[in-house]
Structure 1
Amino acid sequence: MKAGPPSNLLRLQLQPPPPPSPAAEVSSLTTLILASQNPQTLAQTLHCPTIQWTPHLVNSILKRLWNHGPKALQFFTLLSRHPSYTHHPSSFDHAVDISARLRDFRSIWSLVSRMRSARIGPSPRTFAIITERYAAAGKPHRAVRVFLSMQEYGCFQDLHSFNTILDVLCKSRRVEMAYNLFKALKGRFKADCVTYNVMVNGWCLIKRTPKALEMMKEMVERGLSPNLTTFNIMLKGYFRAGQLNEAWDFFLQMKKRDFEVDVVTYTTIIHGFGVAGEINRARNVFDRMINDGVLPSVATYNALIQVLCKKDSVENAVLVFEEMVKKGYVPNATTYNVVIRGLCHAGEMGRAMEFMRRMKDEEECEPNVQTYNVLIRYFCEGGEIEKGLELFQKMGSGDCLPNLDTYNVLISAMFVRKKSEDMVVAGKLLIEMVDRGFLPRKITFNLVLNGLLLTGNQGFAKEILRLQSRFGRTPRQFKP
């Protein structure tokens, strides 16, 4: 009897399995790293010749592991011993950034030394990361010293690195410090339009618009012409300071001078009026923008949707969202998060979850940590703590790890019902957040400690106390 053609099932069995998609490979490797309890076994897996390591793959995994710093650095270290793969400078920069997030400054400089020994850095980007993290940790003077000592590590300062340190200081609200550095070194680095724009933005961030105007005046006196970016920064500064009339007059002056205002200009005005509660003016500017031949961007729609959610109604925001989609715009994570937050605030948790599911259907718009945090917060505040915990469990898969805010929201929620078992959950969450490299505040430690003591969990309270003492945050008295 002649054999017939192989069945579809057999044909599939005979063919080699297709290689995993890049996203699937990142997800599976991240999950494997998170689940691993034995460094030696994990090292053997990572050194397996079937895994084709590339800088893109490594960096993608490090980004996924951002909110689990110890695991991220363990992965980086184990892969450093790979027999045939060598870390790219960009991967070192990610490791430096993660170490800085953990405030492990000793590891930062160890990584910098390794880069220098391997002759692959450090680069200006490496120092930009370090200075930003020092400033974020409340150490701006150290950030400046790092900038000034770059040449000691074979990386010389230039105009770009000068602009970067000024921007770092300004965004951390250390504008006076940035201004003093600017005055001292602007001649040496030949300050350009970017330098002045950074300083204008700095003064605007702390609502000192007269000082920002002084910078614009100095800019012109030095023969530099303010550009559209300068004017947009100044416009945003007026709105930030609550100077709505000045902002509108400034915009009219831009138009009068035949300045080609762009989508950023209109988006700034729409958001500024909306935040101030001037919804009709915001809508009128949106219409005027289209009449002037300037097409709105996704950011423009995000600004309008956000102000409608906050100052008008979430229903009108959803209408704008649907209008945006019909016109062919692809909403991003910010768009979805703004709508989800608005629906949650209105008590429409079911519809908020629908938007999250809709978000998952988008190929390039997965729910991020902000999406989960908003939903968890509102579920917990509404007394549906189990639903909040259920969402939290889904985050642990590796696709979107919880951050510090996630843990703080859940720990606080455990004290609503004042149940003994909820206090135990709070204690476990506290231990987990520490294991993942987050440093709880003293008030969080004490809250959990007192909750355990009051509900008769003395044994667990002692364990939390030992954990707390590791960070020098031990309470003055402890009565078991």
Structure 2
Amino acid sequence: MPRTTVKQIFNLRSYPYCQPIPLQFTTNALANCSPANPNLIISKVKSGTGRTDNEIFESLIHDHSCTTIPISDTLISHILHRLKDDWKSSFAIFKWAQSQKGHTPLPNSYAIILDTLGKSKQIQKMMSLLTQTPHHDVTLTSISKVMRRLCGAGKWQQAVKIFDDLNTFGLQKNTESMNILLDTLCKEHKVEQARKIFLELKSCIPPTPHTFNIFIHGWCKVNRVEEAHWTIQEMKGYGFSPSVITYSTIIKSYCQNHNFDKAYKLLDDMKRRNCPPNVVTFTIIMCYLTKFGEFKEAMMIPEKMKLFGCEPDTLFYNALIHTLAKSGKVEEAVNVFEFEMARFKVVRNTSTCNSMIAMFCHHGMDEKAVNVVKSMGSLENCRPDIQSFHPLLKMWFRTRKVDLWVSDLLDEMVNKYCISLDLSTYTLLIHGLCRVGRCEWAYGLFREMVGKDITPRYNTCALLLDEIRKVKNYEGVDFIEGCMKRMKSS
């Protein structure tokens, strides 16, 4: 009996999966996604051809079919979210919408496009847009995204300057905005800089318990737990009591360093201080036990949790399924997924299903994994994301079932769920295709990725270059070498 393919399972349109995916497949295919209005606009966007955002913008301006579309902020926000990994298309569409008579983007659209530009390292464009944004459309949400992207790009001083200049955007320097700045700095390991800023501001901006929890998290992140304990004392000096969040943060730090004895001791201390641990605390401990291969001890956490009167939630069950899967207890994981969560009325989410997919793929149960993906489409909180498909792709490259499955799976990702391929997915595809001798297909995806201004990893370039040389694709050799030279000079 012939084997069922992904295409048959999902009832997909026919696609020649034995052929390399052509350039623009993943971009143009978005035209088939629903709802209808976004599709017409997205179908006009072809960033993979190497055009600039201004060229894409001009093409939209002069396309008369786009003028018939009623523009709304909901529509534009939907499109920007779908194209969040393609900054050129996103920015062009945002500017096009701005130019349409009668449409004024709302703050949500500004926040999305600012974050997209920052994520894509288009810092200059992000800052230019921020300065051009009308003050009434600049929200603290937008500012927080900009500051986080600046810190992520190593420009933390610029993030601090934005905080200093908040009044120019019609916003106030208060506890909320201060906490956003401090949190941004601490998450990027700039805890000492955040501390200096806090000492300057504390006389005019009152801290809250959240302020101190930010610092406790920051000190733990840079593995300075003693400072975290000192911050608890400072917190008490302001009249605030440490919360379960405070102690759980320190417990996480102990677990990260494989110091579970101290973590358990702090659990007991929490109970004595009338601040009992919650389900999040136990989820943290179980996750790190699993990470360090302490499966037997990890499986004892549900019973310990019951002693503290904690009820399991979705995140706890996600961690439990992952633990069972890593320890090879497939049937037990299936039982939790299919029966126990329903019995306790705990809803599944995308991460729950992703854990099951990864487990089935690890054990070579490809059809069971595909069936989980299929079931996700009918569940409100379980829409597949890009991580849902990575284990399947890895498994089929590992088993060399490329022609049977991979094109169909990409078709499913792009056409049904409108998932934009990101750097990690392109990298996975290119490396996998090179390993199975499909370098021309890999090269097509490489060109598409570069066309979207997604910078490939250097080892990906080197691998693909070797394979393209073997098939004497000299044009491809020149293109890849050009990319590598630009990467070295940047």
Residues of 2 paired with 1:395 and 1:69: CA distance? 20
- Helix, strand or coil for the counterpart of 2:242? coil
Residues of 2 paired with 1:298 and 1:200: CA distance? 26
Pick which of 175-184 and 322-331 moved more. 175-184
- Helix, strand or coil for the counterpart of 1:67? coil
Aligned residue number for residue 51 of structure 2: none
Residues of 2 paired with 1:88 and 1:463: CA distance? 41
Against the structure 1 CA distance between its residues 459 and 269, is the aligned structure 2 distance closer, same or farther, given a 3 Å change threshold? Answer: closer
CA apart distance, 1:348: 2.1
Residues of 1 paired with 2:212 and 2:158: CA distance? 23
**2:304 corresponds to 1:304:** no
Q: Which has the higher contact order (CA 8 A, sep 6+)?
A: 2
Which amino acid in structure 1 is aligned with residue 39 of structure 2? T
Aligned residue number for residue 15 of structure 1: none
Aligned residue number for residue 378 of structure 1: 395
Pick which of 441-450 and 456-465 moved more. 441-450
Asked if the contact 1:170–1:199 (Cα under 8 Å) also holds between the matched residues in 2, the reply is yes
**2:354 corresponds to 1:337:** yes
Aligned residue number for residue 39 of structure 2: 31
Q: Deviations over 1:309-345 (max 9, x none)?
A: 2245333222221221343322100101111112212
CA apart distance, 1:466: 4.4
CA apart distance, 1:210: 1.8
Pairs within 5 Å for 1:141-152: 141-152=157-168
Aligned residue number for residue 133 of structure 2: 115
Picking from 408, 431, 442, the partner of 1:412 is 431
Q: Deviations over 1:279-303 (max 9, x none)?
A: 4443433134345543211111111
Aligned residue number for residue 331 of structure 2: 315
**2:104 corresponds to 1:86:** yes
Asked if the contact 1:207–1:240 (Cα under 8 Å) also holds between the matched residues in 2, the reply is no
Against the structure 1 CA distance between its residues 452 and 287, is the aligned structure 2 distance closer, same or farther, given a 3 Å change threshold? Answer: same
Which amino acid in structure 2 is aligned with residue 76 of structure 1? F
CA apart distance, 1:438: 1.1
Asked if the contact 1:236–1:268 (Cα under 8 Å) also holds between the matched residues in 2, the reply is yes
Show structure 1 runs of 5+ residues with no match. 1-23, 476-480
Show structure 2 runs of 5+ residues with no match. 1-31, 47-55
Q: Deviations over 1:152-211 (max 9, x none)?
A: 444342221221122122222333333343344333422221111011011222333222
Aligned residue number for residue 270 of structure 1: 286
Residues of 2 paired with 1:125 and 1:156: CA distance? 13
Residues of 2 paired with 1:193 and 1:258: CA distance? 17
Picking from 328, 349, 352, the partner of 2:366 is 349
**2:100 corresponds to 1:100:** no
- Helix, strand or coil for the counterpart of 2:136? coil
- Helix, strand or coil for the counterpart of 2:421? coil
Against the structure 1 CA distance between its residues 450 and 218, is the aligned structure 2 distance closer, same or farther, given a 3 Å change threshold? Answer: same
- Helix, strand or coil for the counterpart of 2:434? coil
Residues of 2 paired with 1:173 and 1:474: CA distance? 27
**2:471 corresponds to 1:449:** no
**2:184 corresponds to 1:168:** yes
**2:235 corresponds to 1:219:** yes
Against the structure 1 CA distance between its residues 45 and 284, is the aligned structure 2 distance closer, same or farther, given a 3 Å change threshold? Answer: same
Which amino acid in structure 2 is aligned with residue 382 of structure 1? T
Tell me the TM-score normalized by structure 1: 0.84
Q: Deviations over 1:243-301 (max 9, x none)?
A: 10111111111112232433323333333444344444434331343455432111111
Q: How many pairs were matched up?
A: 444
Aligned residue number for residue 9 of structure 1: none
Larger Rg: 1
Pairs within 5 Å for 1:359-370: 359-370=376-387
Picking from 436, 451, 454, the partner of 1:435 is 451
Tell me the TM-score normalized by structure 2: 0.83
CA apart distance, 1:26: 5.3
**2:84 corresponds to 1:76:** no
CA apart distance, 1:69: 2.0
Residues of 2 paired with 1:25 and 1:378: CA distance? 27
Residues of 2 paired with 1:261 and 1:466: CA distance? 55
Against the structure 1 CA distance between its residues 444 and 272, is the aligned structure 2 distance closer, same or farther, given a 3 Å change threshold? Answer: closer
Against the structure 1 CA distance between its residues 321 and 28, is the aligned structure 2 distance closer, same or farther, given a 3 Å change threshold? Answer: same
Asked if the contact 2:353–2:382 (Cα under 8 Å) also holds between the matched residues in 1, the reply is no
- Helix, strand or coil for the counterpart of 1:338? helix
Residues of 1 paired with 2:164 and 2:34: CA distance? 38
Which amino acid in structure 2 is aligned with residue 415 of structure 1? C
- Helix, strand or coil for the counterpart of 1:120? helix
Q: Deviations over 1:51-74 (max 9, x none)?
A: 3x4333321221111122221112
Asked if the contact 1:30–1:64 (Cα under 8 Å) also holds between the matched residues in 2, the reply is no
Aligned residue number for residue 10 of structure 1: none
**2:68 corresponds to 1:48:** yes
Residues of 1 paired with 2:488 and 2:123: CA distance? 20
Picking from 235, 240, 244, the partner of 2:251 is 235
Q: Deviations over 1:125-151 (max 9, x none)?
A: 222111111222233333333333434
- Helix, strand or coil for the counterpart of 2:133? helix
Residues of 2 paired with 1:312 and 1:178: CA distance? 44
Percent same amino acid at aligned positions? 26
